[in-house]
Each structure stands twice: as C-alpha cells, then as structure tokens.
Amino acid sequence: MSEDTRAVFLSYASQDAAIARRIADALRAAGLEVWFDQSELRGGDAWDASIRKRIKDCTLFVPVISKNTESRSEGYFRLEWKLAVDRSHLISDDQAFLMPVVIDETSDALARVPDRFRERQWSRLTGDSAFATFAERAAQATSRPNAGGVRHAPTDPPKPTSGPKAIAVLPLANMSADPENEYFSDGMTEEIINALSKVPGIHVASRSSCFAFKGRKDVNVRQIGEKLGVTTLLEGSVRKVGNRIRIAAQLVNVDNGYQLWSETYDRQLEDIFAVQDDISRSIVDALKLQLTGDAAGVVAPTKSLDAYTTYLKGRFHFNKFSEVGLRKAYDLFQNALLQDPGFARAYAGIADVWCDLADDWVPPDDAYPRAKSAAERALQRDPELADAMISIGKVLCWHEWKFADGVRHVERAVALSPNNAEAHWVLATALPVVGRLADGITAVRRALELDPLRVEYFGWATRLLLYAKDYKAAIAQGAETFEIDEKYGRGFVFVGSAYLAKGDAEQALDWFQRGQGLDTAVRSYDAMIVRALAALGRREEAEEILARLEGESRQQYVRAEYLAMGHAAVGNLDRAFDALERAYQARSAGLIYLHLDPGYEPLRSDPRYTELVNRIGLR
C-alpha cells in the first residue's frame, strides 16, 4: 500500500467473500486502492503484523455486515473491527473512516457490531447499482478539500440516533363512516407530531416521512423503524361521529413489536386539544422522560372548533403539494379566519401557501409580499410561532435579499422548534448566500435526519453539492433522491447540471429531457436542455427552444434567470443580461445563487456579472 493514496480496508466473514469481491471491484473502479485479504490467514505473527499495519494505514475501513457475521460470535473479522474502532477514536468526527455496509436484511438496530459502527451512516447494498453508488461515496469521502475549502463526509445524510427517545407517529387510520373525515385523522396525526416535537429530548420523525407509510401493508414496524431511524412507533385510529370522537393509540417498540402503552379516548369534539395533550403526555411517560413545566402541553390554537376543523382541511389540501391543492388550502385558511380572525396558525398557513406558489406558479413579486404580510399577522398573534418565522425568513432571503436578517429569523425558528425539519432546510437554503456553504450542507443533512424520506431535502442536498463543485457526490446524492421519488422533476435538473459541469453533455441532455418529460415538468427548465444542446454544438435546436420560451414568457410566467442560462450557453450575452435584469426586477429566488450555480459560468468574465452580484448583495 503506497503512501498518500486513497486506500480501503475491506473486512468481511469468509462466507461473504464473493460479495466482498464485488465491493472491492466497485471501489477499484472508482479509483481506490483496496486491501482485500484473499489468503484467509489464520493468526500468527504474519497475520498480526499485516493486519495491524493495514488498519493503521488505511484511509477507510469498510466492515461488511451480514447474517454470516451475525451468526459468528468469533472470527478474525471481529478483531479487525476492534482494531478499527480503536483507531477511530484517534480521528476527528468530521473525518470519514468507518463506512459500514450491509449486504442482506440484517437489522441496523439488532446487528452484533461495535457501538461505534452505529454512530456512522450504514449503506445497504441491495441492488446492482448500489455497489457503484457506494463506491462513489467512498471515493468522495477520501477526497481532499475542494478549491472552496469544503470537505464532505459520505453523501448519505446520517440517520438519527435510534435511542429510546426516537419516535415516529404513523398516520392515524380514519375509521369514520364518512371518508371525507380523512382530513381529520390526518390532522390529528400532524397535531400530535407537532406536540411531541416541542418536548426536549425526543427525536420526532417529521410529517412527510411518517406519511410515506400511510396505508401501506407491505412493511412491518421494524422496517419502518429502520427507514425512519426510530425505535418507537405511535399508531392508531380516529373515529368521528357527529360531535363525538374516539381516538385509539398504541406505542410500539420496533425492535420486538411489543406494545409499550395503549389507550382509547372517547370524548366530545370540543375536548380535542385535551385529547392531544393526554396522548403526548402519555407517550412521554411511556418513554420515561422528565418533563419540565408544560413542555409537552398542547395549547389550544383557537377557541373556535369550526375554525380549527376548517384549518385541518386546509392542511390536508396543502400537503398535496400541487397548485390546485395549494389554492384550495388558501381558501380554507381564509375561511378559518372568518370563523376566528385571531387564529395565528391560519395566517401562517396562508403564508406557507404563497411561499409554495411563488416562482413556479405565481410571479415572486406578487406572491412573497403576500406571504410576508400573512406571516407578520401570525406573529402579532403568536410571537413564538416558528412556522411564521420560517415564512418570513424565506421572504427575506429568497425575495427581499436581506440575507443576514433572514438567517436570523430562521435560526430563531430552529431554536424554538429544533425538531422542525423545514426550519433546518430553509436555513440550508440561506446559509450559502452569506458565504456559509459548508454550514448549509450541514443544515440540509440535519433536515434529512429529521425527515429522512422528504424528497425535496434530498434534492437540495444534491443542489448544494453541485454548488460546492463536488459533482461526483452530487450525482451520487441524486441517485438516492430517485430512490425516494423517481419522478422528482428538480432532481433531474440538479443531476443533469452536475454532469454538464463535469463535461458530459450527452448525459446531461438525457437527464434534462427525462425530467422535462414528466407530467410535473416546469417549462422554465427547458432552458436546461438548451444548455446541453449548446454544449453539443446543436445551436439551431437550442435557439428554437429559446425562441419558444421567450414567446411563452410574454403570455405566462417563465423564470427569467433560467432563460438567462440558456442565452448564455449559446453565446447571446446581451440577451442573457436582459433576462437577468428581468429576474432582478421580479426578485426571482434563483438569482441568489448567481455566484454559485455553474449555469452562469459563461457570464462571469463580463463586468455586468460582477455588478449584478454586488447589487444583489451576494458573497
């Protein structure tokens, strides 16, 4: 093993030699040197000297975990694991060294491995593509800091610590005769998640990850626990008949399926907040946590039951993540305010709607001011409402370009609601604009810890790695994004941009076209196809698309900063800067990454580019 090389020590049980060879081949294909013991040494001085030196000198230690390692209480691989753990204590936490892999269905939680392994992200090699993806991560983990000074650990977001205080609340089943009451059972689920999220010391999986398992019968509690990084699940049902409700809930240990606690609540609908409070406190007691004051208490957000149920209906439609759903949610939040004009969370819901409509469906200079106004009204009524602070942070950073103020608002939201995944995600979008790209990557990884199945957060992890010029890592992260949702449109943009930045225009064009072939495609992103066609010398096709986009922009909203990328790619710099000026006047959110996005590279030597960067206030 030569010095100054990226070398990997592969440790495995002898029964797993064939799989270990596949891992070794993938790592070598990624440019890594691999120490792969095929001699099956059985102790003695030769073994001791060789093994100890290899583990002392290697850059990465990859233990292969399987049913074969599980079944063996003794084995040389266990001594290798001990030596690697001993060395890991001498290495800083931000330096990748231990990279465990699982090659079958062995449980992360139950595996017979050193505790130190559990502190690291595990990779599960369950398909042919997984070997290459893992090798890319390993190559990235061993790379030196890039030109921007950012060093990245493996691109997987680490799972949350699966301790006894980690819980997921599965969607409560609607047992009512009327299927329209589903909004109520979903709303109860979300309210219990929010109540538990405020309890110090509990890790709570976020709503979107929990709802990914709604109605699924093909996964058991242990599998759900592994995917969400928790060891306890709350599951149950809601039955609503007139003004009476029955909520049945039980807390389950995911490792063994044993019930830790169960309760049934028969109440009047007017008592709904008391029921939520009872459930959250019972769970806390079951988890043996010490509460301080009213940390877990549920404070009624409104005195109007009608306003509250209307609000729950609004959240139900908001969570459909479509333009139609957002506009329906807006109407319902407005109705909730007619029923209770002081309902702070209804105002926060309106702010959420306008933030989500902005840029893609509504011009930003129309949507964001409305969002800010609604969020400010929410804070007038509840000064510590984290959701409203997040919306104001979005507006300040994404639209008004008051970046330092925006970061402060979002950091305050994180402090008030540390289990709020969206707060960490918004912080991740803001920090790169104030020169803290590495911190932004850390923040999006934290969002993924809290909400490990939220595809948007995977997409942003890809985007920030793209901005860090870590193109291999961005592509690998993109592969994981599509494991969550193979039709996530923006993911195709980010992966295609990474391929284009590393000089592979054919691959980039394929990714861009596949993304734009989806039903959810945003027409502005056709400009990405223009960039790839220009790189391939197909200028006539590129300019035809640009002409169509310019025509559409006179009839409907098209993001001008993407048009600018297209014009820049074909060398029309004057038209590119005209489009950027339109984007500037509209305060289009994409402009805040002007200094980071590789799509603007053709413009950076022009003095007009520097002038615009300064006008926006980027650094």
Residue 192 buriedness (CB in 10 A; 0-12 / 13-18 / 19+): buried
Mean pLDDT for 215-236 is 83
- The three state secondary structure string of 413-467 is HHHHCCCCHHHHHHHHHHHHHHCCHHHHHHHHHHHHHHCCCCHHHHHHHHHHHHH
Calpha distance 265→271 (Å, rounded): 10
The CATH number of domain 301-417, selected from 3.30.420.80, 3.40.50.620, 1.10.3720.10, 1.25.40.10: 1.25.40.10
Thinking of the domain 7-142, which architecture would CATH place it in? 3-Layer(aba) Sandwich (3.40)
Is the domain spanning 166-300 CATH 3.40.50.10610? The answer is yes
Mean pLDDT for 323-346 is 92
Q: What is the DSSP string of 35-63?
A: E---S---SHHHHHHHHHHHHHH-SEEEE
294: confidence class by pLDDT, cuts 50, 70, 90: very low
User: Please, where in the chain does CATH 3.40.50.10610 lie?
Assistant: 166-300
The predicted structure's pLDDT at residue 469: 94
- Cβ(388)–Cβ(379) under 8 Å? yes
Strand partners, 248: 237, 264
Mean pLDDT for 89-100 is 80
**Is beta strand 244-253 parallel, antiparallel or unpaired with respect to 203-204?**
unpaired
Task: Supply 609's token pair.
Answer: 């580019």
E strands present in 142-258: 166-169, 173-174, 203-204, 232-241, 244-253
Using N-to-C axis directions, what is the helix angle for 539-553 and 560-569, rounded to 10°? 160
The predicted structure's pLDDT at residue 224: 87
Mean pLDDT for 269-275 is 74
506-to-70, 186, 532 alpha-carbon distances in Å: 45, 44, 7
Q: Which of 19-28, 496-505, 562-571 has the lowest mean pLDDT?
A: 19-28
User: Please, where in the chain does CATH 1.25.40.10 lie?
Assistant: 301-417
Task: Supply 480's token pair.
Answer: 């994981």
- Cβ(569)–Cβ(542) under 8 Å? yes
- Cβ(216)–Cβ(462) under 8 Å? no
Q: Comparing C-alpha atoms, which of 514, 479, 472, 467 is closest to residue 493?
A: 514
103-134 core/surface letters (b: 16 or more CB in 10 A; e: else):
beebebeebebbebbeebbbbbbeeeebbebb
User: Given a cut of 60, is residue 148 above it in pLDDT?
Assistant: no
The predicted structure's pLDDT at residue 44: 53
DSSP 399: I
The predicted structure's pLDDT at residue 426: 95
Mean pLDDT for 103-110 is 70
